[in-house]
Amino acid sequence: MLRLSLLSVALAGLVHSTSLTVLKTTTTPNGFHEAARGWNSFGIQANPNTTPSWTGFNQGNVTPECDVLATAPFKAAGYQYCSLDSGWSTNNGDQYGRLLYDPTLFDLPSFADHLHDEGLKLGVYVLPGAFCSDGNKTIKGTTIKLNSTYNGNNDGFLRCDFDFSKPGVQEWHNSVVDLFASWGVDFIKLDFVTPGSPDNGAHLVANNSGAVIAYHNAIAQSGRQMRLHISWKLERNDTYYDIWRANADSMRTDQDINNSGANNFTMWQTVQRAIDNYRQYIVLQIPKNQPISIYPDMDNLFVVNSANISGVTDAERQSIISHWIGAAANLIHGGDLENIDDLGLKLATDSDAFAAADFSAQYPMQPRNPGTGGTDAQQLQAWIGGPSDDGEAVVILANYGPAGPQAGFNTSIARVQTVSASLDDLGIDGSGWNVFNIWDKTNSSVSSGGSLSADLDEGESVFLKLTKSA
């Protein structure tokens, strides 16, 4: 329950909140003004028991999932991308060492045509490097053998890494992206980028950031606009963050949040970790006070299916998408779009929520601790995106419940708690605000010196749109 209360001047004077630096975004390196919205296959691939109707990862099973994105509610919410994860390609390249789709699973040109006819777009998954077995092949348009460009490292995924100082490396990337463009690809997910990605049983080089630059340059020369998304849990220090933000359109801030091999998709403790990794990431951007040119990716959304399939309660499902929207993160669903319940449809397509997503795409949220306006991880937390120059903002109040092992906080406060953040805590005191509850569709107001308060159970949150009073 949301309650708006007026704090006395004397009480408000006891707390001195930090000033608010409004975070803003700018155009991404490949020309985008918002994070991607769509669906990705990995959740079902990794958790096949969630979707027994699937007989395998192939065009026949993927197409109906993506067709849901073309229905009126999803189109109105801005969904576009049907993204294939690992497993769509063969384990060797063509005569030039370029990546090929497995024709027993997919016909990517015809699939792309189908998606484009519906107003959708195609995404594919790649790893750094080229297939080691293609070493004796000549890079298209050159006389350079692929094996002359390798650095000697076999990553354990059948791929050899490049020495990015050698001639031919950029030409190979150009040839691959040109081939993708001829198929109709619109989105490239480049995984296992280092520094950042854990080995996960592979043998990764310490730094293959050159792959991000090479794919970006290849997209630029292809003449086709494509998104470049990089994964996973990437290094955030400025040396590498400056590479990511100059070349990619979104970057993973956390590990996978799905329960690999389980009968449901995710669990709340994992979501707590993902939210805190976003907090860690965005706090680094506050002191820079410059437009952000890359969107965060908090991993796939698992909110469209009922609690027994998604693995989180209905309140937690709502909290998840509220935080992903507020963070201006990729809104890529990973659940079974053919098995959406009523709440899932609302969470995935609500017009007020996606108007808030359009706003957050320009004004991503940051933490503002209740009582201080600080940025620490807390079980009882507040966030704000904006305010804009027009006097609009979005706010989340949340009770994350007792801490999981990687939640970022150590408290274990049980059951319903009152979460209260003053306008001063949020950094926007000085006038009154109209308050709209995005999910409950209720209106209220708060005056200067007042606070936003909500009684929230574990995993519950409220998502609010604030508009400055006239």
**Residues classed as catalytic:** 191, 256
Nearest Cα residue to 332 out of 107, 56, 69: 69
Under 8 Å CB-to-CB from 109, ≥6 apart: which residues? 182, 183, 184
Alpha-carbon distance of 393 to 373, in angstroms, equals: 16
Q: What residues are paired with 94 via a beta bridge?
A: none
Distance CA 348, CA 79 (A): 10
Query: 3-state DSSP helix/strand/coil percent for the chain, to nearest 5?
Result: 30, 20, 45
**Rounded-to-integer distance, Cα 280 and Cα 405, Å:** 16
Residue 161: CB partners within 8 Å, gap ≥ 6?
Answer: 128, 129, 150, 151, 153, 155, 205, 208
Give the SS3 label for residue 62: helix
For residue 343, give the H/E element and its range: helix 342-349
Name beta bridge partners: 188.
Answer: 124, 228
* Sequence-distant (≥ 6) Cβ neighbours of residue 361 within 8 angstroms: 25, 33, 34, 35, 295, 328
Sheet with 2-6, edge to edge strand ranges: 2-6, 450-456, 417-422
